[in-house]
Each structure stands twice: as C-alpha cells, then as structure tokens.
Amino acid sequence: MKKDDLIKQIADQSALTKDQAKKAFDAVFQVITNGLKKGEDVAIVGFGVFKVKKMAARTGRNPRTGDPIDISAKNSSTFSASKSLKEAINAKA
C-alpha cells in the first residue's frame, strides 16, 4: 500500500476530503519525525512505538576490496509493534 492509497482510505473512512486527509496524514508523520529528531520515543497506544537508536562509529570492510573503512556514528529509527497490532495481523480470518 502506498501513501496515496492510505490517504484515499483515510478520506473514505473519515468523511474528509482527499486534501484534508492528505494534510492530516502529513501532519501526523511530521509530528512523529519531529519527536524522533528530538530523541523522543513516539508511542501510539494499540499500534506501537517509534524509537531512535544511536549507532556507534565503527570500522567496516569494503566488500569489493576488503579494505577497512570508517563508518561514522549515526541515528537510526526503529519501530516496535504493540501486542494488539501483532495479534491483529496474525489473527485467523
């Protein structure tokens, strides 16, 4: 499912226009992104938790040459699904 498909379904299920649904969709993900940029966890009850994971600097290997390369420290995002989301996607229809 792509972003446009999600927006269309949000509009259909919420009696919003497609433009209103797009603005709401974009706002939600902007708020999540801003929270993660600040280093905060973003928890959505019944869905899951978005977190920032700090990756330390390390030495890796170039796969072509085998030469060592320095990989700088960075932040990465992770998502942990809630118990109810896991149950919903594993439920037998």
Label residue 92 by pLDDT band (50, 70, 90). Answer: confident
Spatial separation of the C-alpha atoms in residues 70 and 88, rounded to whole Å: 42
Average pLDDT over residues 8-18: 94
pLDDT at 32: 96
pLDDT (tens digit per residue) in 19-66: 999 999 999 999 999 999 999 999 999 999 999 999 999 999 999 999
Beta strand segments in 1-93, E: 42-44, 48-55, 58-61, 68-71, 74-81
pTM score: 0.78
pLDDT at 93: 66
Q: Is 15 left (phi over 0), alpha (psi -120 to 50) or beta?
A: left
